[in-house]
Amino acid sequence: MKILEMLGVFGGLALFLHGMQMMSSGLEAAAGGQMKSIMERLTANRFLGVLTGALITAAVQSSSATTVMVVGFVNAGMMTLNQAVWIIMGANVGTTVTGLLIALDVGALAPVIAFAGVFLMVFVKKIKLQHIGQILAGLGILFIGMDTMSAAMAPLRELPAFLHLMSTLSNPLLGILFGAMFTALIQSSSASVGILQSLAAAGAIPFSGAVFVLFGQNIGTCITAVIAALGTSRSAKRATCIHLLFNVIGTAIFTAAVLVLPITSMIEGAVASPKGEIAVMHVVFNLVTTLLLLPFGNQLARLANLLLPDRDTAQEGGETMRLAYLTPLVGGGKDGGLGVSAIVEDQLRSELRRMLEMARQNVDTSFQAVLARDTAPLDRVEKREEYIDFLNREISRYVSRLIAIETNERGSKVVSSFFTISGNIERIGDHADNLAGYTRMLAEHEIVFSDRAREEIGEMRDISLRAVSALFSGEAGTPPWLAQVAKLEQRIDDMTDGFRREQLARMRGGSCSEEACILFSELLTDFERLGDHVLNIAQELTKAQTTL
């Protein structure tokens, strides 16, 4: 094979993958949030769930992106494992659309489609139409890449070494293994099926051997979801297990059927082109497997529970610090924005709520410790503070990577606000930790606050908890709610000024020791700053029009 022909194969593959990426990114930018809402609403009924998964996957040309989104929903507790089963089944059906489009040989229209898309992207100012143009341009580029690959692969049928390699794939096990490994490598079943169609069209692989490679490709596509499930909850891992079980069971059934029944001969007799044969077999594989397993969806969920049982608390490591909701960004976001911003908003929100609840507990515990001069709770406060710092670092690291690949305008704004919110929650935790530190000084130096100072500290505790708790409100992100939080913050400022004046009066009257006055002044500073950070969070939530 000549160097130019080899470059043609790689160039065609690059265009194909880039076209898929453009389509997914354009679709996410145009409608990522709506797809997420649809998915959340239509999963209670198994048939609607399968249809939803199929339609979304057909639109984004990637079962991996849909499955990653499902893993995220399950991990965030927004979808049950039983609901996830139907979406995953539908995703396997929807992924066959790319092969069908290639088989229809619409490549002749590819330049026109690509031109129309680029025209909308470059010459139209309306953002929504630009996103539609990105989808069309991606589709056109995808088919141009496929035609380039097909033309470059034609000489392969003249190479004895390559023909020998292809002949070995007629062995079912070798064919399945090759298909699974290749698809796992490029993390796209649509792309690997398209390459297989190009090989078949070039006469480089017979249909009888291609079917086993095709079956393996359905298993290999699970690798993206497997990677996405790393570091997630047990339920999220089970969703990935269901995806893998579906394709392994389907492969076992169809491998046996092809070896016993004349299925390949029937398809060859009914379909004229090699590309069409592979596309039809891909549809039959996923559709029949879905129909066979549809009545057993709940049993699949139970099997996943058996394969991945719950761990004991001791096995989980007790208080080991970890992210409870965020899933890893797969392949640097190569699966398109759909698998990213459609789920990450809810995951970040859940993680930040968890972080804020820790900070709220520390505020409460620290004020109580100061009032009681009790150092016993301080170890708990310090451990929570370390956990809050850990979550802030991990969330900030996650968001900084996400911002670089985010394509949805609203999603980008929300994610950026969450970055700021995480930092402010961490600062609330710091001030609570400072309050706890004053308890040690009170106990070690036997410092006693006056009765009036203790009353003021009790008032500080009450309004601080009211302010932090207001951030959990379901009305968060609305202007009226922001006005209420701003009033609380102003009340904290007014109380701080008033308490400082009363402290000065106590100092002049000799009812406040020097050490107590210094500590009380420091305490007031932390109290005031705590209110500032609560208002900062509220402003960010309103700017992004979202909630915690």
- Convert the pLDDT of each residue in 93-118 to its tens digit: 988 887 787 777 666 678 888 999 99
Instruction: For residue range 289-298, list pLDDT tens digits in order.
Output: 999 999 998 8
Instruction: For residue range 414-455, list pLDDT tens digits in order.
Output: 888 999 999 999 999 999 999 999 998 988 888 888 889 999
Cβ atoms of residues 373 and 103 within 8 Å: no
Determine what percent of the chain is predicted with pLDDT higher than 70. Answer: 83
pLDDT at position 282 is 92
CA distance 385 to 371: 20
**Residue whose entry in the numeric block shows the structure tokens 């640097």:** 332
pLDDT at position 312 is 47
**Residue whose entry in the numeric block shows the structure tokens 């999220």:** 236
To which H or E segment does residue 240 belong? helix 234-260
pLDDT at position 189 is 76
Task: Name the pLDDT band for 83 (thresholds 50, 70, 90).
Answer: confident
Which of 442-456, 474-488, 507-521 shows the lowest per-residue confidence on average (mean pLDDT)? Answer: 507-521
Q: Higher confidence at residue 229 or residue 461? A: 461
pLDDT at position 320 is 73
Task: Name the pLDDT band for 316 (thresholds 50, 70, 90).
Answer: very low
Give the three-class secondary structure for 52. helix
What is the chain's length?
A: 548
Closest CA to 29 of 415, 343, 412, 409: 409
- Predicted confidence (pLDDT) at residue 218 exceeds the cutoff of 60: yes
Cβ atoms of residues 222 and 174 within 8 Å: no
Whether the CA torsion 471, 477, 481, 486 is positive or negative: it is positive
CA distance 81 to 180: 25
- Predicted confidence (pLDDT) at residue 317 exceeds the cutoff of 50: no
Q: Tell me what the pLDDT averaged over the chain comes to.
A: 83
Give the three-class secondary structure for 516. helix
Side chain identity at residue 395, one-letter code: I
| 255, HSE (Cβ side, Cα atoms, 13 Å) | 21
How is domain 337-544 classified at the architecture level of CATH? Up-down Bundle (1.20)
Task: Name the pLDDT band for 277 (thresholds 50, 70, 90).
Answer: very high
Task: Name the pLDDT band for 288 (thresholds 50, 70, 90).
Answer: very high
Closest CA to 455 of 485, 499, 420: 499
Which of 33-37, 106-110, 211-215, 507-511 shows the lowest per-residue confidence on average (mean pLDDT)? Answer: 33-37
Read off the pLDDT of each residue in 72-87 and give the average, rounded to a whole number.
Answer: 76
- Predicted confidence (pLDDT) at residue 313 exceeds the cutoff of 80: no
Rg (CA), the chain: 30
Cβ atoms of residues 329 and 340 within 8 Å: yes
Q: Higher confidence at residue 450 or residue 163? A: 450
- Predicted confidence (pLDDT) at residue 170 exceeds the cutoff of 60: yes
Read off the pLDDT of each residue in 155-159 and give the average, rounded to a whole number.
Answer: 65
pLDDT at position 37 is 62
Side chain identity at residue 120, one-letter code: L
pLDDT at position 531 is 95
pLDDT at position 283 is 92
* pTM for the model: 0.63
Cβ atoms of residues 476 and 547 within 8 Å: yes
Tokens of 465: 């908890």
Domain segments of the chain as ranges: 3-309, 337-544
Cβ atoms of residues 240 and 200 within 8 Å: no
Tokens of 173: 């096990």
